[in-house]
């Protein structure tokens, strides 16, 4: 996936660093909330859901513009912001 594919789902962009390298963190909206997939969990937790939520994506440090990892899905914007700010290397929001 690349940053262009995230398109208008991006609501906040942050800067993170690892050593001397900087990369971007994207806080996005989503309508897909993945479940655990564990058959031992209740269906409310185990099954995927169609719902408004938020997710975090991380830019690849080497290939600028490419997404290399996700950092979770969150039901509430405040939880997503808190998780992003607690991410290792988070420096600041740029928008």
- Residue 88 pLDDT greater than 90, yes or no: no
For the stretch 22-73, pLDDT in tens is 999 999 999 999 999 999 999 989 999 999 999 999 999 889 999 999 999 9
The alpha carbon dihedral of 23, 27, 30, 32 has a sign of: positive
CA 40 remoteness from chain centre: 26
Q: Taking the complete model, does pTM exceed 0.75, yes or no? A: yes
- What is the residue-averaged pLDDT of the chain? 94
Q: Confirm if 86 and 5 have CB atoms less than 8 A apart.
A: no
């Amino acid at each position: 996936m690349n940053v262009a594919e995230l398109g208008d789902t991006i609501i906040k962009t942050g800067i993170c660093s690892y050593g001397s390298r900087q990369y971007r963190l994207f806080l996005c909206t989503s309508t897909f909330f993945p479940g655990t997939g564990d058959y031992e969990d209740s269906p409310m937790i185990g099954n995927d859901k169609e719902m408004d939520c938020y997710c975090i994506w991380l830019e690849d440090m080497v290939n600028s513009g490419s997404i290399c990892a996700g950092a979770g899905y969150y039901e509430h914007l405040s939880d997503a912001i808190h998780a992003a700010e607690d991410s290792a290397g988070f420096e600041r929001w740029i928008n």
